[in-house]
Structures are given as structure tokens and as C-alpha cells.
A and B are shown apart, each in its own frame.
Chain A
Amino acid sequence: SQQGEEDPQALSIQEGENATMNCSYKTSINNLQWYRQNSGRGLVHLILIRSNEREKHSGRLRVTLDTSKKSSSLLITASRAADTASYFCATDTGRRALTFGSGTRLQVQP
């Protein structure tokens, strides 16, 4: 079974708007990572947040982590058409392998 579940499953916004995706997980984690997957391509690492961190920024990306609620969110500000992709959260539970969620499909309309 998958550790993380993203919400929503699909999201469609206009260019320039912000996009927020959420991830919930079930067990304690060491860290949580977000990846992007463009259609027909492999996954690209975006950002990692450790269990003792609450917020992290990278360019137009902002990630939050609430370990008490076992949830994380990924915010993409000022979205662009090139941000169209699927976004996955992945959790490190200490078993030395990442467990991926089912992903959020983001469509940014130009």
C-alpha cells in the first residue's frame, strides 16, 4: 500500500495563479520529498523537508510539514504553463527506500 496520498488528484489553474497540493501519510517519517513528473518522462526531485522542519522554500516552491497531522503541502506560486506535470510526495520512513503517493496532476492553462 502507498504511504502518501495526494489531494487533489487533479488540479487545473490559469497561468499566474498559485497551485497548492497536499499530501497525507500514515506512519512516522524521517523526511518527505516532492518530485515532479512530466508526461512520458522520469521523475525530477524538487525539494526535501526533514521531520524537524516546518517550512522550506526553493524558488517558487514552498513546502510545509505538519508531523502532528501527518501532512505536507506543496505551493507553487505564479504558475507557468511549463509547471504542467504530475507531482508526487515521497516519504522516508527509515526503511531506506522512498514510498511514493499517487500524485496530483496539475494543468496550467496559458
Chain B
Amino acid sequence: GQNIDQPTEMTATEGAIVQINCTYQTSGFNGLFWYQQHAGEAPTFLSYNVLDGLEEKGRFSSFLSRSKGYSYLLLKELQMKDSASYLCAVRDSNYQLIWGAGTKLIIKP
């Protein structure tokens, strides 16, 4: 079967750095996505990785290792507005997205 694993919840302090991990086992691989979802709202696109390595976009970076079936999302200089769920999704060989359950990130002052 296909599986995406993420921690259920993480807590971090405002101004700090946090790393959210995602491991996956899917039928084929055609890219990995990270989305941010604030409570009660729709997910919004954050990043896309298809090759190994680090993609940096402002305060957010995403890393991929295809051989390990592993990705992480790195958030720097945390702000209170970063409190949200972060969803990892992998596009399989049929170009369908397989979604993780999301990691709820709680930011404390």
C-alpha cells in the first residue's frame, strides 16, 4: 500500500527554527509537495521537490532524498502566523497525490 508518515503535532517557539519530517512509501514517485493549512481553511501550496536536495523559498525550505523516501520542511524565524497544519503529499506513478495526515505546528511566544 501507499503510505505517508508525518508527526501528528509539534511545538516550537516564536523566532526559532523547526523541521517537519515526512517519510513516504508510494507506487512510483513524481514529486513531493508541502502545503500549509490554517484551521478551518483550505490548504495553500508551499513547495515542490522532484530532485534530491534543498529548495529554499524565503523563510521556508524543503529537502528531498528519493533514495530514503524522505523529505523535510524547514521553517526559520518562526512567527505566530506560522501556527498551522503542514501537509506532505507525494505524486505517484499515476500522477495522483497521496496525502499525509498533516503535522499540526503550535508556535508559542
Q: Are A and B bound to each other?
A: no
Binding site for A on B (CB under 8 A): none
